[in-house]
Structure 1
Amino acid sequence: GSEKSIALNITNDSTTMPYLAQGWIEDEQGKKISSPLVVVPPLQRLEPQGKSMIRINALPDAASLPQDRETVFYFSVREVPPKSDRPNVMQLALHTKIKLFYR
């Protein structure tokens, strides 16, 4: 609760393909929220072997969250691959969801 933001490092381990990284925050019901926490940038491109940072910023509305107990949120990040040049190819978009506690 005393921090205004936290930073998370992300990497693209692919040697040939760039990826899009899309991040967002959900409440305990699984609905996307835009306050009191926000992901910056919400969408970014990672070049092959590239590294970047995602920030989770607390907005002024975070002061209205309970200060005597934890509030649970879920941080999600999706890795979206580029469109394939070949026909009949199955592509996977990896989605990671991490439980996030605001104290």
Structure 2
Amino acid sequence: MKTFARVACALALVVGGAGSAYASIQINGTRVIYPAEQREVSLSMVNNSSAPILLQSWVDEGNPKDSPETSKAPFILTPPMSRVDPAKGQTLRIMFTGAALPQDRETVYWLNVLEIPTKPKVKEGDSSNYLQFAIRSRLKLFYRPKGLPGNSFDAIDQVSWRVEKEGSGYVAECTNPTPYFVSFGSLTFKGVGVDKSLEPKGGMCPAKGSEKFPLKGNPDVANGKLTVQVINDYGGFDTHDVPFSR
């Protein structure tokens, strides 16, 4: 009798599929900007593996537990499911269906791309176990209303920062008066390097809002500044040294 042990693991990747050591699908982007005046936007991807991959895609409102059936995000994806053969590409079309969203600031959603590998071929009589992964990539999707003042690249210059003691460490509170979300890959006191042995902890300062983020190190030696690695619309990193108050 043939016996198989199948373990399915769903891995949620905050940055995107390109950063996974296991993903076969390379997504050409780490975020999606959806200008309100456009009828649709597209996202391309390619299968870099030697086997076909089944893809399922959907958008959620921020709850990673939402499925395509339970999500109420106002977007339609075409195709919602597709088979991508080895070395072949797939273009995902994203269409806004309409909703009463704020028009004075961006709204953020999350695009999910679930990569389901095909069942491996097993020789007759082979009772070997196998491990199979279903990789889920989650990318930020920013709905950007038409006519917002300024631009997303300069938003970091208007964000103010305050550092305060919390427990045995410190937190940095950002206040963002702009209509653009400010995403960053890392946030540290100036002069304190990011630990390369650990995945940098990023975050997002909300449009026209505030948020707190934990900090390591001592503010007394930071010369009154934080170093922020801002993630721009193209997924690139722009390093900024910003002042903070206490």
Q: Same fold (TM over 0.5)?
A: yes
- Deviating above 4 A after TM superposition, structure 1's stretches of 4 or more consecutive aligned residues are none
Structure-2 residue corresponding to 1:90: 131
Percent identical: 35
Contact 2:61–2:73 under 8 Å retained in 1: no
Superposition RMSD in Å:
1.5
2:104 is equivalent to residue 75 of structure 1: no
Match of 1:52 among 77, 90, 108: 90
**Cα offset, 1:58, TM superposition:** 1.1
**Cα offset, 1:28, TM superposition:** 2.6
Structure-2 residue corresponding to 1:100: 141
Does 86-95 or 67-76 show the bigger shift? Answer: 86-95
Structure-2 residue corresponding to 1:24: 58
Amino acid across the alignment from 1:5: E
Amino acid across the alignment from 1:20: L
Amino acid across the alignment from 2:59: I
Amino acid across the alignment from 2:105: R
Contiguous gaps of at least 5 residues in structure 2: 1-35, 123-127, 145-246
Match of 1:11 among 46, 50, 65: 46
Contact 2:41–2:95 under 8 Å retained in 1: yes
Secondary structure of the 1:65 match is coil
Give per-residue Cα distances to partners, 1:24-49, cap 9 Å, x unaligned: 00003343535521211110000111
Amino acid across the alignment from 1:82: T
Amino acid across the alignment from 2:91: M
Quote the Cα distance in structure 2 between the aligned partners of 1:11 and 1:34. Answer: 28
Contiguous gaps of at least 5 residues in structure 1: none
Structure-1 residue corresponding to 2:175: none
Higher relative contact order (CA 8 A, sep 6+): 1
